[in-house]
Chains A and B, each alone.
Chain A
Amino acid sequence: MSDIADRVKKIVVEHLGVEEDKVTENASFIDDLGADSLDTVELVMAFEEEFGIEIPDDAAETIQTFGDAVSFITKAA
């Protein structure tokens, strides 16, 4: 697994308090990992800080799953 995926997973695990093995490619933050809408905003904030990138609101809306986050950040970072 890539370095980016590891770092994203660490943020998700810490922030949502979920088991690491639940954070799979297609795991939806809201449907599978118990996030509420505010959690998703906070996750995006945390990604922005961790990777030093800006994630615009319209892009943030497309980040629904762990895989979405990793692929977006891989392109942006």
Chain B
Amino acid sequence: MFDLTGRTALVTGASGGIGAAIARALHGAGATVGLSGTRVAPLEALAAELGGRAHVLPCNLSDAAAVEALPKQAAEAMGSVDILVNNAGITRDNLFMRMSDDEWQSVLDVNLTSTFRLCRGVLRGMMKARWGRIVNISSVVGATGNPGQGNYAASKAGMVGMSKSLAYEVASRGITVNCVAPGFITTAMTDKLNDEQKGKILTQVPAGRMGEADEIAAAVLYLASAEAGYVTGATLHVNGGMAMI
């Protein structure tokens, strides 16, 4: 099951914990992967770990021109982009009353606008191929909200509405567009939380533990597979029961 042999996948934020796990899972299923991120060293290390079928494609997602260029670079390196995983994301947390325009805009730019631009950039090839998989990594807080994360939650909720709209448009062309919404996952992003914050969060998670990056990657692998061809416009929540929606 879930054989991606011969498929090509572009993964953003592959220098981070979840992105790297997604790249490993898709690569493990046989796909050629394009590893994108801002930090080159972890991308090179991941490519070396994967061995063949891995291309390093550095990109700063706050740079509009670089984002526009990325799908073309990926297609040149891999021959096509059959699967796009928009995983890259940043946080600039602040209380709403203190949030600056810059904190708002930078999070929207990287998390939502770059996702829009990358989706647009890969569509032509997917339309011609009559096959494509787009998986956008949203977040549980896009559905539930979270104090201090007005910008981040807006960007992640925005992804869901955007994905559904695009899913409508391209469903007849064999292209599916879905979201995966992680809950609290062990990554560098959640390592910033102190023990008290983590303890509080865990009281809200029926599973009683943080999730692992591999558990997000498995959801992405499913949605990227041929077997998930009838699943589109969906949001797959992977959150240990934290929000049953």
| A residues whose Cβ falls under 8 Å from a Cβ of B | 38, 42, 45
Contact = CB atoms under 8 A, between A and B. Distances in A.
Nearest to B173: A38
A42 B126 CA distance: 11
A51 B172 CA distance: 26
Contacts of B169: 38
A38 B173 CA distance: 10
Interface string B185-206: 0000000000000000000000
Interface residues of B, number: 7
Contact of A45 (B124, B170, B172): B124
Given A42-B127, A45-B128, 6 more contacts: A38-B127, A38-B169, A38-B170, A38-B173, A45-B124, A45-B127
Nearest to B123: A41
Interface in B9-49: none
Q: Would you call the interface of chain A mostly helix, strand, loop, or mixed?
A: helix
A42 B127 CA distance: 8
Interface of B: 124, 127-128, 169-170, 172-173
Contacts of B173: 38
A42 B169 CA distance: 12
A14 to B, nearest CB: 13
A8 B169 CA distance: 25
Contacts of A42: 127
Contacts of A38: 127, 169-170, 172-173
A27 B170 CA distance: 25
Nearest to A37: B169
9 contacts: A38-B127, A38-B169, A38-B170, A38-B172, A38-B173, A42-B127, A45-B124, A45-B127, A45-B128
Contacts of B172: 38
A45 B169 CA distance: 16
Contacts of A45: 124, 127-128
